[in-house]
Structure 1
Amino acid sequence: MEKLQLVSSNKSFGGYQKVYSHESSELKCKMNFSIYLPPQAEGDVKLPVIFYLSGLTCTEQNFITKSGFQRYAAEHGIIVVGPDTSPRGVKVPGDDESWDFGVSAGFYVDATKDPWSTNYRMGSYVNSELYELIQTAFSNVVDPDKIGIMGHSMGGHGALVSTLRNPGLYKSVSAFAPICNPIQGPWGQKALSGYLGEDKSKWADWDATELVKKYNGPPLTLLLDQGAGDKFYIEKQLLPENLVEACRSVGVPVILNLREDYDHSYYHISTFIGEHFDFHAKILKS
């Protein structure tokens, strides 16, 4: 088993908010991840897990300090895991030149273009390495059959794509202000061309709107939460309606909550995170 090093531990709502580091074989660097162990983890019982993927410019810290999710995770008895958003300290030339590409902007894809392809493998890191590491290292408390995923912005894209690319891996999925159709938006076009090259047919493999059209896995409902006052929504970076249309065209159930005046920030997330935990709990505990 990969060696975990405890970075921090804080009691919260009767459970413990911890951060660990480990050496990642996929990313070839040391990575941090957060894990919230609710009070129920002290008992002799296996608990559901939700992975949370953060957005551009974030680390594993933003969600655990700003969203207030611990209250709801404790109520429902759900373990919550949050990876970082990109490899750290690998020093790829140009990786710190912009806020929406490179460091803190791994986009949860497996890069195929040099020089990114060696380290920028966040898709495999989240859905293979970390997914398995959590089940192994916390096998006494994790129920391997009850795993969900959620995310915000770039991480919302990551949550949707991870679910649609790996049918059955996640039983439940939700997203706040996700990048729903990256092929059509400036952020997505920059990231996908940078990590994958100019062949746009390869981009479709990492675009939720394209992936859902050929989804043939277990029954799935997508929950999308979008602030109507979000400037990135208004600027057509996120395009949730494109995903809704694609879902309806193939009969995949989708819920889009459009929240009047809410923006792209953690004020939006912290307001509705309880509803997302209710949604996941209903599916994961059924």
Structure 2
Amino acid sequence: MTDSSFTLIERHACCGGEVRFLSHQSRELGLPARVNIFLPKEALGGESVPAIYVLAGLTCNQDTFLIKSNAIRYAAEYGLALVAPDTSPRGADVAGEDDTYDLGAGAGYYVDATSDPWAAHYRMGSYIRHELPALIEQHCPVKAGCRGIMGHSMGGMGALSIALGDSGAWTTVSAFAPIASPSRVDWGQKATAAYFGGHEAEWGQYDPCLLLKSGRTHPGTFLVDQGLDDEFLPRLMPDLLEQAAKDAEQSLQLRRHEGYDHSYWFVQSFIQDHLKHHADGLL
């Protein structure tokens, strides 16, 4: 990473590899963006390795998934890079963007807003789909086009919708407690009013269930874990995802777990399975 496209903020040895905190000026967001990357020892030794993009949920940022999920330990074991972007633009100065946890800063939903004043900077959809992978593959020791994507909650929704939106760009996909159909719940309806100017049809390219209903599928198997003691279960709608996948003939392994909630304690409990799922498809 010698190119000026990235500025190195910090680096930390971890699990035989290295975590790097980076920033860059984003074309899509029109603002500086932060992204963290874990590089296993193979990458530090000069090899190009597969990369998994890990998307965090509401209220989180680029630090959350790598710190809380325990994913690095298993990524190091399998020789995978982890790329952790922020969950929204920062510093957009949109009125009200810091007022609530479920809209604005920390709540980009991995979509491109189409309504002012959000449209200028809230473009996390195109940032994750196009800009960030191109930069990472140009300036980091990762294999071009050898990508997986995974996420938690809002990030799980993002992982599924991004993979369905461009199945050829993402080889492996998984999610923890994803918002399966954001257009049908209050979180998404609030985002509709702000980001899309009230136009519900805009969710068609971002809602996993709507994408499946429209005929979008992915050639791989989606691995999804859901805790049955999740306090947000009525908003997540895993049953709806299961039915939509069945109707679309999308391969889905949906695992339900008694006693587990929505927290990163849940994510930690099954993260090894997810890293193996990605390793099996990418290595």
Query: What TM-score, normalized by structure 2, do the two folds share?
Result: 0.96
Q: Structure 1: which 5+ residue stretches go unaligned?
A: none
What residue in structure 2 maps to residue 282 of structure 1?
280
What residue in structure 2 maps to residue 72 of structure 1?
74
Q: How far apart are residue 193 of structure 1 and its match?
A: 2.8
- Say whether 1:269 aligns with 2:267: yes
Distance of 1:159 and 1:284 partners within structure 2: 16
For residue 178 of structure 1, what is the amino acid of its counterpart? P
What residue in structure 2 maps to residue 250 of structure 1?
248
Q: How far apart are residue 218 of structure 1 and its match?
A: 5.3
Query: CA-to-partner distance for each residue in 1:39-80, whole Å, 9 max, x for gaps?
Result: 111334221100001100001111121111111001100000
Residue pair 2:173, 2:222 contacting (<8 A) in 1 also: yes
Distance of 1:186 and 1:94 partners within structure 2: 18
What residue in structure 2 maps to residue 209 of structure 1?
209
Residue pair 1:8, 1:20 contacting (<8 A) in 2 also: yes
Distance of 1:16 and 1:222 partners within structure 2: 29
Distance of 1:217 and 1:227 partners within structure 2: 25
Residue pair 2:17, 2:40 contacting (<8 A) in 1 also: yes
Residue pair 1:2, 1:23 contacting (<8 A) in 2 also: no
What residue in structure 1 maps to residue 150 of structure 2?
150
1:5/1:44 CA distance change after superposition, 3 Å: closer
Q: How far apart are residue 217 of structure 1 and its match?
A: 5.7
For residue 40 of structure 1, what is the amino acid of its counterpart? E
Distance of 1:188 and 1:46 partners within structure 2: 38
Aligned counterparts, 1:1-286, within 5 A = 3-138=5-140, 141-216=141-216, 219-233=219-233, 236-285=234-283
Greater alpha carbon shift after TM alignment, 36-45 vs 119-128: 36-45
Q: How far apart are residue 219 of structure 1 and its match?
A: 1.1
Residue pair 1:164, 1:215 contacting (<8 A) in 2 also: no
For residue 192 of structure 1, what is the amino acid of its counterpart? T
CA RMSD of aligned residues (A): 1.3
Q: How far apart are residue 189 of structure 1 and its match?
A: 1.4
For residue 55 of structure 2, what is the amino acid of its counterpart? L
Distance of 2:186 and 2:118 partners within structure 1: 19
Distance of 2:149 and 2:45 partners within structure 1: 24
Distance of 1:77 and 1:268 partners within structure 2: 24
Distance of 1:218 and 1:154 partners within structure 2: 20
The number of residue pairs the alignment matches comes to: 281
For residue 208 of structure 2, what is the amino acid of its counterpart? A
Residue pair 1:72, 1:277 contacting (<8 A) in 2 also: yes
Distance of 2:213 and 2:151 partners within structure 1: 21
Residue pair 1:2, 1:133 contacting (<8 A) in 2 also: no
Distance of 1:159 and 1:218 partners within structure 2: 12
Residue pair 1:168, 1:217 contacting (<8 A) in 2 also: no
For residue 241 of structure 1, what is the amino acid of its counterpart? D
Q: How far apart are residue 2 of structure 1 and its match?
A: 5.5
Q: How far apart are residue 199 of structure 1 and its match?
A: 2.1
SS in 2 for 1:231: coil
Residue pair 1:19, 1:35 contacting (<8 A) in 2 also: yes
Q: Structure 2: which 5+ residue stretches go unaligned?
A: none
Q: How far apart are residue 144 of structure 1 and its match?
A: 1.4
SS in 2 for 1:168: helix
